[in-house]
Amino acid sequence: MAELLVTLDDDLIELLDAQVAESGRPRSEVLAAAIRSGLGGGRLAETLAAYRTGEQIPEDEAMALATAEREAAHYDRDLLVRMAEASAADFEAELFGD
């Protein structure tokens, strides 16, 4: 994984921090999910709209999109599993002590 320095305006930071507080996830994870959703979601919406109007979608484009969506879904699933495991460990530690 690479690091990337990003400059955000105050409004975006406020939105980001609200999502962080709501989800309990770190800023980096919330930001990565938003970027992943925004970049992948736009392509998916455009491709589905084209398909619904009868436009032919090249097979390689459809496969690339399907692969990207599958990888995004796996990332989100893995993230939820890690969050659940962390929550379970926190709960057990609180319940039974360290």
- Tell me the pLDDT tens digit for each residue of 33-82: 777 776 666 677 777 778 789 888 888 888 887 787 777 777 777 777 77
Closest CA to 29 of 78, 68, 71: 78
pTM: 0.44
Q: Which helix (H) or strand (E) holds 36?
A: helix 27-52
